[in-house]
C-alpha cells in the first residue's frame, strides 16, 4: 500500500455552477464512438457515471467515492465488484455480474445504477484509459479535481485557513522570529 497511487476526484462544491459538462463528458467517454455527435445517435444512449443534483440552493456533483471498505463490494455475491488496491478504485467486472443489483441498494451515495436495456449495472471506473477522468477534464470551473495526495492537501488548506484567521485577529501576538527573538 505504501507504493500505491491513491487518487480521488475531489468535489469543490463552492465552485460548481451546475453546467453538467461533467455529465456530458462522462457519457461521451463511455460511448462506443467516443465523440459527442456519435454518442447522440447511439442506442442505447451512453450512461453517465456522475450526477449533478440540486441540493438546497446549490448544484452538487455526485460520483463513486471508490471506498476502501465499500458496501457495494461487501454485498456482491459473485465478486463482480472488487477493490483494486494498487489503483485505489472499486472495479466492476461485468462478466461476473448476475444482475442482482445488491450493489445499487448498498451504495450510500446512490451512484451505482441499473444499466439501460440489460440487467447489469453502471458505475464510475475513473476512466482508466485516460490521464484524467473525463469529468475532471471537462469541468470549466475546476469544481472537480483529481488529487493524489488528498489527505495532506486538505490538511494544508485547513492549516492555511487557521493561519490566515490568526493574522487578521485583533490583538493576536506576532510569531517570534527564528531563534526565539521577538520581532520589533
What is the number of helices (H) and of strands (E) in the chain? 6, 8
pLDDT given at position 2: 42
| 110-129 residue pLDDT tens | 999 988 777 799 999 999 99
| 146-176 residue pLDDT tens | 987 655 666 777 778 878 777 776 665 555 5
Strand partners, 162: none
Q: DSSP code of 159?
A: H
- Kindly report the pTM of this predicted structure: 0.75
pLDDT given at position 149: 65
Percent of the chain exceeding pLDDT 90 equals: 66
Q: Which residues of the chain have pLDDT under 70?
A: 1-5, 149-154, 169-184
Q: DSSP code of 58?
A: E
C-alpha dist (Å) from residue 7 to 31, 42, 50, 59, 66 = 24, 31, 17, 23, 10
pLDDT given at position 183: 46
pLDDT given at position 5: 53
Amino acid at each position: 500500500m505504501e507504493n500505491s497511487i491513491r487518487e480521488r476526484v475531489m468535489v469543490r462544491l463552492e465552485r460548481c455552477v451546475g453546467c453538467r459538462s461533467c455529465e456530458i463528458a462522462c457519457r461521451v467517454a463511455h460511448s462506443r464512438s467516443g465523440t459527442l455527435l456519435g454518442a447522440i445517435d447511439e442506442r442505447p444512449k451512453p450512461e453517465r457515471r456522475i450526477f449533478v443534483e440540486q441540493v438546497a440552493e446549490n448544484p452538487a456533483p455526485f460520483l463513486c467515492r471508490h471506498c476502501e471498505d465499500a458496501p457495494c463490494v461487501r454485498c456482491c455475491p459473485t465478486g463482480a465488484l472488487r477493490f483494486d488496491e494498487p489503483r485505489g478504485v472499486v472495479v466492476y467486472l461485468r462478466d461476473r455480474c448476475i444482475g442482482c443489483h445488491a450493489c445499487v441498494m448498498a451504495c450510500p451515495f446512490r451512484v451505482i445504477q441499473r444499466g439501460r436495456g440489460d440487467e447489469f449495472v453502471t458505475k464510475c471506473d475513473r476512466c482508466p484509459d485516460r490521464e484524467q477522468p473525463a469529468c475532471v477534464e471537462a469541468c470549466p470551473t475546476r469544481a472537480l479535481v483529481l488529487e493524489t495526495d488528498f489527505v495532506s492537501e486538505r490538511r494544508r488548506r485547513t492549516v492555511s485557513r487557521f493561519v490566515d484567521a490568526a493574522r487578521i485577529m485583533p490583538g493576536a501576538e506576532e510569531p517570534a522570529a527564528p531563534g526565539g527573538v521577538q520581532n520589533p
